[in-house]
Chains A and B, each alone.
Chain A
Amino acid sequence: NAGVTQTPKFQVLKTGQSMTLQCAQDMNHNSMYWYRQDPGMGLRLIYYSASEGTTDKGEVPNGYNVSRLNKREFSLRLESAAPSQTSVYFCASSPLDRGTNQPQHFGDGTRLSIL
């Protein structure tokens, strides 16, 4: 079972370059999320999409944009990468929550370094 697939797994960028991180899930989940994790820290929510066609900002949205391409795919774009965006990025998905506390399923992350 693939679950949540993130590509690429590793990437090095120069300051000012742009890049799109891809995420796809095969569990027919409605909701999808992007988090970042800095060294020694917990995850912080960047953006989320409660259902196809909707997106909302999380805790740390500045410098990022997202696209919910379809029910399966949710991409994260860095328009002009900055060293402060060096981090591990995780995508997650879950069934539509509506307060029922559905667990989230995470990918294995994209390790992004910006020089």
Chain B
Amino acid sequence: DAKTTQPNSMESNEEEPVHLPCNHSTISGTDYIHWYRQLPSQGPEYVIHGLTSNVNNRMASLAIAEDRKSSTLILHRATLRDAAVYYCILRGRGSTLGRLYFGRGTQLTVWP
């Protein structure tokens, strides 16, 4: 599975949008881009995933660059509960079933 690069930390104010970047320059054509987040003292929580097109769900939006070498997780209005470590993960279609490779992620701090 290809590697991803994320900033170590980011900060935001409450109710402002947050754009969390992820670089994955070695992504293959069949790799999906997944995002998970981990709140303090909890297990990771699935956020969103996509392949080529931008994706939206109730938690966030995922914007994927046209060349797929980068993506951005968008939280439209940050809340204090969104303070967490966010992981960007690539998963190959047909890769070893179910394996997730976690890096260190981005620690998001949300200020009231």
Tell me, rounded to whole Å, the shortest Cβ–Cβ distance linking A13 to chain B.
20
Q: Is A44 an interface residue (CB 8 A)?
A: yes
Against A, the Cβ 8 Å flags (1 = close, 0 = not) of B24-68 are: 000000001010000001111110010000000000000000000
Contact residue among B42, B93, B99, B105 (Cβ-Cβ distance under 8 Å from A108): B42
Query: Measured between alpha carbons, how far is A103 from B89 in the docked complex, in Å?
Result: 12
Interface size bucket, A side? 20 to 34
Contact residue among B41, B43, B91, B97 (Cβ-Cβ distance under 8 Å from A92): B43
Do A48 and B102 touch (CB < 8 A)? Answer: no
Against B, the Cβ 8 Å flags (1 = close, 0 = not) of A21-45 are: 0000000000101010000111111
Contact residue among B45, B49, B105 (Cβ-Cβ distance under 8 Å from A106): B45
Nearest chain-B residue to A31 (Cβ)?
Answer: B98
* Interface of B toward A, CB cutoff 8 Å: 32, 34, 41-46, 49, 87, 91, 93-95, 97-105
Query: Measured between alpha carbons, how far is A58 from B41 in the docked complex, in Å?
Result: 23
* Interface of A toward B, CB cutoff 8 Å: 4, 31, 33, 35, 40-45, 48, 50, 58, 90, 92, 94, 96-99, 101-109
Do A44 and B93 touch (CB < 8 A)? Answer: no
Do A103 and B46 touch (CB < 8 A)? Answer: yes
List residues of chain B with CB within 8 A of the CB of A58.
99
